[in-house]
Amino acid sequence: MSGRRLRVVFAGTPEFSVPCLEACRASGAEVVAVYTQPDRPAGRGRQLAESPVKRAALATGLAVEQPESLKPAEVQQRLADYRPDLLVVVAYGLILPRKVLAIPRLGCWNVHASVLPRWRGAAPIQRAILAGDAESGVDLMRMEAGLDTGPVLLERRTPIGRDDTGGSLHDRLATLGAEVLAEGLRRTLAGETLAATPQPETGVTYAHKLDKAEAKLDFSRSAIELERQVRAFDPWPVAAGEIAGEPLRIWAARAIEADHHAAPGSVLAAGRDGIDLACGQGALRVTTVQRAGGRRIGAADYLNARPELRRG
């Protein structure tokens, strides 16, 4: 880039987006504005809360815009008035109309938390764990009108470990996202045009938004499927199931091999190693739970309160 600094508008909302905002600020580009979703009610008191991106932007003195939609002409003109060379979008949560995509001179980039075209859409991190994928990653993509359909500019991959949760994979991908964005900005600032690789037409899957109802464990399913649910839904919405009639949030569990003819959900064994629950195939060893109104506790502490369950 010669003459003037690269003018970047950043659009993002949740915690996942914050490392990418910091990467923009550290790149040498000029972040001229930050777009984020309007303040929303949050917490038990339902008080209006600022998004993590808004808090990060205000802390560094950046201009913040919070339109309800990008469709109104006056909103689009406001964006155009910033004269962005590039719009960087990371988990923003609003649809970008075609007219918005056409505003920046160099187009719009998106940092997406999957290896496209697998897991286009809203919840790629959790869907990858639920499906038992061996790896995930982040793609830096040039945006088009379709949902996560644009060509890929840069990519980073990471294996999904047996101990990964939605939270741990989220944090790792947020870091990788910032790294891939930083590389894209560095190369662009050096005058390079990044090669755009079209996504394959095969292998397309959609990561639909998470629903709280999905968190309920169905013990007629296999233990490994339930283990993935527990891992994927930590920290939200948190897996839920019953142990001997008591509804609990289940924070940690492991699938184990077990030959049994017990009814799904029944207690096969319970001791210091955990509480083994019968599944359609195998057993789920529950190790961390949360009672209604309580805090997270280990299985041993839970059994101290329900000693009648101890067996095996």
* Residues of each annotated binding site for (6S)-5,6,7,8-tetrahydrofolate: 114-117
Contact 196, 210 (CB under 8 A): no
CB atoms within 10 A of CB 72: 12
142 alpha carbon, distance to own chain's centre: 20
Annotated binding site: 114-117
SS3 readout for 1-17: CCCCCCEEEEEECCHHH
Q: How far apart are CA 11 and CA 8, in angstroms?
A: 10
Q: Is the peptide bond before 19 cis (omega within 30 degrees of 0)?
A: no
Helical ranges in the chain per DSSP H:
18-26, 52-59, 73-81, 98-101, 124-130, 166-189, 223-232, 299-305
